[in-house]
Chains A and B, each alone.
Chain A
C-alpha cells in the first residue's frame, strides 16, 4: 500500500518576470519600485515544485498537498486565481513581505512554524517541497533552513525527478555541473526536495479545480497570521540589477562575411 504523503510546497510570490524591476531604497530597506502594484506570480521554482507535488499526490492516493506561502495576503489572493486552478491543495498563509530582501533564515523560521502548526502533521509522511532557488533573490538557502528547523536531514537540491520505488524508497535526480544528474536514494519521508525545473509541463488552468480550492483559500487568507521576521542584524550595502550587456553598432557597408567574422571574433573574446 502506498504512503499517503503530506506534501508541503513552500512558495512565495514574485513580480511577474516580464515586469521592469527597479531597486529603490524604502524606509524599511531595499525594495522594488512599485512592487505592490506590479502583477505577481508564484515563484517559478515553487511553481515546478507544485506540479511535481500534484503528480506525486495523484500517484499516491490519499496524499495531501499544502501550499505554504509567505506573502502580502492581498497580493497572494490575486495570484491564487491562477495557481488554484493547477492542483488541489490547502493553502497556509503567512502575511508578510514577499520581497527578495527578507532574510532567508527568518523566512525559513516562519515557514517551518506554519508547517508545524498544521493539525495532524506526521513526520513519517512529511515531504517538504520548494524551489532550490527563487526568482526574487536566489540565495538558495531558505528550503535548507526549513529542513534544518524541522529536523529533516535528508535534503536534495536541484531536483529534476523523484521516483517512488516499490519498497517505498525514493530515487532522486539532482542537477550537477555539466548538464548531468546525480542519482540519490533515500529510505522515504521525511525529506526536503528543492526542485530545479522538474520534467512536467504547466498543467492547463482548470476553473473547476479552482472553485474547489477557493472554498479553503479564502478562509485561509482571512485567518492569515502576520509574519514575525526577526532580522535586525541584516543590512544591505548596495542593491543593483545584473547589468545588461549590449554592444550594438549600426553598419551598412560591411559584407555578410565580414559581419560573420566580426561576430565570431567577438564570441571568442567573450
Chain B
C-alpha cells in the first residue's frame, strides 16, 4: 500500500527523459537515447523555425523544406532504418527507434515526421521483401553519405494510393498496370509500367518509387510491387502538389508514371513458368508486411502532440492575467490565472492522461515488433526446413502451435507446484510458441495503436486547442496546437483509415490465443488492483470482463430479426467492440508503464528524488484514464447488448416481458393520470441479464475514487514547476 507520506507528495517538475526511458523501456539503450536527443535537436531547431516562419502556408516543395532532408541526414534520422552494413548505426530491429524519432519530430510538427518516415516506407517493401541484390543496392544508396564520400543519398517514395475510384489500402483493386514491353529470347523481360498516384509522400523529390501495380498481361501472373527510377525511359512526372491543409512540411504530389523497366525491378523477384512471369510476391502480400510495422509509428505521432500540449497549456493558464492592472503579483489571479478554474484543470488532466495512454500503447507495440522480428525470421526458417510452403499449409501449422500457446497460458495459470514442469519448460522455450503469442498480440496492438491514438487523439487535440481559447486557432499559438489538431486528423486517415483498423481488429481480437492472453491480463490487473488500488486497475479489470462477456454474447446470439450479430459486415457490432477494446488496451498499458517506473525509478538517483510525487500523480492519471475507459466500455456494451433486442410493447402482455421498476411505474402513473392506463418504461429481458447487470453494477461501484483522483491530479497541475519558456519557437 502506498504510505501516507507518499500520498502527500505531488508532482514537482514535468517528467524528464530519465522518466520516459524507464516507462518506455529504453533506459539501457544508449543508441536510442542519443537518437532521441538528435531527433529533438532537429525538431525543436530547424523544424520549429520553419513552422514559426509560416513555411507550412505553401503546398509547394520549397528549398527551405528541402533543407530539412539535410538536417535529417546529418542528425542520423535518415540512417535509422539502415543496417550497420548499409551505413546505419542501430543494430537489430528498428521499430522502437523509428517510433522514438517520429515521436520527437511530431512533438513539433507531424509533417516533418511524415517526411522522414516516408523514405523508410518507400524502402520497406525492398527491405522486408526484396531480393538480396535489391536490398543491397537501394538501402545503401538511400543511406546518407559518410565523411569523405561525394555521392548524394537517393530518396524514395511509396506509391500505392491511386486516384479514385480505385485503390486505397483496403482493396486489391489497382488501376496501375504492368505488361510485357519486350521479351527477347534469353534476355531479361522489359516491362511497361503505367501508374497514376495520389497523395504520394516525398514525390516532390524522390529519385525512385516503389509502386503497386496489377497485371495487364497474360504473360505476368499477378500484381506486384515494382521499383521505378527517375532515369528509366518514359514519363516520370512528379505531378502537382496535393493541396493538403495539413503536414505541409512533407512533400505530397499526384504523380504519373509510364516507364519501361527491367523485370528484375519486381520486388522480391520472379520466376518464369511456362512462359509466364510469376512475381514471387503479389502487392497485397508485400503491403501486409509493410503496414504491419509502420502504422504503430503513426499512432505515436498523435500521442506526442497531446503530451506536447501540456507545458504550453499550463503556462498559458497560469499567465493568463499577468500584465493586467487587476492582478498583482502574489494574488491568486496573478499566480494561478485560469488554473483557479476546476474545469480548465480537469480537462487538461484528461488531455495528459490520454497522451500518456496513447504513448504507452504505441511504444509497447513498437517494442513488441522489435521482439517479433527475429522470431518471424525463425518461423520462416522453420517452415523452409520443414518444407511447409503455401499460405494454407503454413496457417494449419500455425494453428497447431497456437493451441500449444494456449496450453502454455493454461499451465501458467496453475500454481507453480501443480504444473507439469517438463511440458511448461518445453512450451516456454519453444520459439514458435513465442512467435504466435507475440504475433497474435501484434495483430491487435498495431491496429489498436493506429486507431485509438489517432482517432481519440484528434478529439483530445481539439480539447487542447479549446483550452487555449482563441489563441489556439492562431499560427502564433505556443506549441502549434491548432496545426497539430489538423495534422492529427490526417494521421487518423493515412496508412489505413479508421474503418480499416476496425475491420482488422474485428477479426484479430476474436482469436482464441489473444482472448486467452486477454483473460490472463484480467487476472493480473486484479492482482495489481489489490496492491495499487489507486491506479484504477480494478475498474479496468471489470470493464475487461464486461467487454469479454459482451463479445461472447454478440458472437453467440442473434438480433430481434434473427440475423447474426457478430459478422464481418455488421460494423454496428464489430466496430464499437473494437473501439472499446482499444480503450482497455491503452489504459492497461499505461498502468503497466507506471508500475515499471515504480519498480525501476528508485535505482536512478535523478528519478528517485521526486519519485513519490511523480508516482502519486501518475497513479491518479492512470485512475482517471481507467475510469474513462471503463465508462466507454460500459456505454458501448450496454448499447450493444440491449440495442439489438426489440423494445417490448407497453401493454399488459408486453409488460410480462419487461422489468418494470415500481417507482417508475408510479411516476408514470402520476404523469399519465389523464391517460387510460399507466405505462411502465419497459426494457428487454434475456437469459444472462443478471450476469450482465451484476457486471455493470460492479463496474459502476469500482469507479470509486476516480473523480477524487482527478481532483488530486488537477491540484498537482497548479503546483508543478514548468520551464520559463517553451524550448522551441512559436
The reply to whether A207 and B610 form a contact with Cβ atoms under 8 Å apart is no
* A12 CA / B33 CA spacing, docked (Å): 20
Closest residue to B17 on the A side, CB-wise?
A78
Closest residue to A218 on the B side, CB-wise?
B30
Closest residue to A208 on the B side, CB-wise?
B89
On chain B, the residues within 8 Å of A84 by CB distance are 34
Among A72, A207, A214, A248, max chain B CB count under 10 A is at A207
The reply to whether B34 and A81 form a contact with Cβ atoms under 8 Å apart is yes
> Interface digits, B60-86 against A, CB 8 Å rule (1 contact, 0 not)?
000000000001001110010000000
Interface residues of B in 8-54 (CB under 8 A from A): 12-13, 16-18, 30-31, 33-38, 41-42
Interface residues of A in 222-248 (CB under 8 A from B): 248
The reply to whether A36 and B323 form a contact with Cβ atoms under 8 Å apart is no
- The stretch of A15-23, A45-53, A159-167, A192-200 in contact with B is A15-23
- The stretch of B167-175, B290-298, B601-609, B660-668 in contact with A is B601-609
On chain B, the residues within 8 Å of A208 by CB distance are 76, 79, 89
Interface membership of A75, Cβ < 8 A: yes
> Interface digits, A207-223 against B, CB 8 Å rule (1 contact, 0 not)?
11011001000100000
* A206 CA / B80 CA spacing, docked (Å): 12
Among B34, B74, B722, max chain A CB count under 10 A is at B34
Interface membership of A100, Cβ < 8 A: no
Closest residue to B727 on the A side, CB-wise?
A18
The reply to whether A37 and B727 form a contact with Cβ atoms under 8 Å apart is no
Q: Interface residues of A: mostly helix, strand, loop or mixed? A: loop
Interface membership of A184, Cβ < 8 A: no
The reply to whether B725 and A18 form a contact with Cβ atoms under 8 Å apart is yes
Q: How far is the CB of A169 from chain B (nearest CB, A)?
A: 30
The reply to whether B34 and A205 form a contact with Cβ atoms under 8 Å apart is yes
Interface residues of B in 324-362 (CB under 8 A from A): 324-325
Q: How far is the CB of B110 from chain A (nearest CB, A)?
A: 21
On chain B, the residues within 8 Å of A140 by CB distance are none
The reply to whether A204 and B74 form a contact with Cβ atoms under 8 Å apart is yes
Q: Which of B12, B37, B79, B723 contacts A82 (CB 8 A)?
A: B37
Q: Which of B16, B89, B725 contacts A207 (CB 8 A)?
A: B89
* A39 CA / B721 CA spacing, docked (Å): 12
* A218 CA / B723 CA spacing, docked (Å): 29
The reply to whether A205 and B75 form a contact with Cβ atoms under 8 Å apart is yes
Among A16, A38, A250, max chain B CB count under 10 A is at A38
Interface membership of B724, Cβ < 8 A: yes
Interface membership of A124, Cβ < 8 A: no
Q: Which of B16, B31, B38, B324 contacts A37 (CB 8 A)?
A: B16
A37-B13, A78-B18, A214-B30 known; A205-B727 Cβ under 8 A? no
Interface residues of B in 579-623 (CB under 8 A from A): 604-606, 609-610
On chain B, the residues within 8 Å of A248 by CB distance are 323
Q: Which of A36, A78, A207, A211 contacts B609 (CB 8 A)?
A: A36
Closest residue to B37 on the A side, CB-wise?
A82
A81-B36, A250-B323 known; A16-B723 Cβ under 8 A? yes
Q: Which of A34, A211, A218, A249 contacts B13 (CB 8 A)?
A: A34
Closest residue to B18 on the A side, CB-wise?
A78
On chain B, the residues within 8 Å of A36 by CB distance are 605-606, 609-610
The reply to whether A81 and B606 form a contact with Cβ atoms under 8 Å apart is no
19 contacts between A and B (CB under 8 A): A18-B726, A19-B723, A20-B723, A34-B721, A37-B610, A39-B17, A72-B605, A74-B606, A75-B605, A78-B606, A82-B41, A85-B34, A85-B38, A204-B41, A206-B38, A206-B76, A207-B34, A214-B31, A249-B325
Known: A34-B13, A214-B34. 9 other contacts (CB 8 A): A34-B721, A38-B16, A39-B16, A74-B604, A78-B606, A82-B41, A205-B42, A208-B89, A210-B34
